[in-house]
Amino acid sequence: MLNEYPSAVIFGCSGLALTKEEKEFFERVNPLGFILFSRNIATPDQLKTLIQSLKETVKREDAPILIDQEGGRVSRLKSTYWQKYPPVRVFGDMYEKDKASALKSVHDVFRLIGHDLQKLGINVDCAPVLDVPVEGSNENILGDRTFSTDPHTIGVLGNAVCQGLMEEGVLPVIKHIPGHGRAFVDSHFELPKVDADLETLKKTDFMPFKCLSSAPWAMTAHVLYTSLDAHKPASLSEKIIHDIIRNEIGFNGFLVCDDLSMKALKGSLSDLTTEVLAAGCDAVLHCNGNMDEMDRIASVIEPLSARSMERFVAAQEARRKALEHACPFDYKAARAELSEKTA
Compute the CA torsion angle 207, 208, 213, 218 (nearest 10 deg). -120
How distant is the alpha carbon of residue 298 from its chain centre?
A: 22
Task: Specify whether 107 is catalytic.
Answer: no
188 annotated active-site: yes
Angle between helices 99-120 and 151-166 (to 10 degrees): 40
Q: What is the secondary structure of 182-214 as a DSSP string?
A: T--S-TTTS--EE---HHHHHHTTTHHHHHTTT
The whole-angstrom distance between residue 178's C-alpha and the CA centroid of its chain comes to 13
- Using CA atoms, how far apart are residues 153 and 284, in angstroms rounded to an integer? 30
Residues in the chain: 343
Q: For residue 93, count other CB atoms closer than 10 A to its CB.
A: 14
Q: Are 318 and 216 in contact (CB under 8 A)?
A: yes
Given the residues 186, 188, 243, 271, select the one marked as catalytic: 188
How many C-beta atoms surround the C-beta of residue 42 within 10 A? 16
- Which of the following is catalytic: 68, 131, 258, 282? 258
Q: Which amino acid is at 208?
A: P
Residues with a catalytic annotation lie at 188, 258
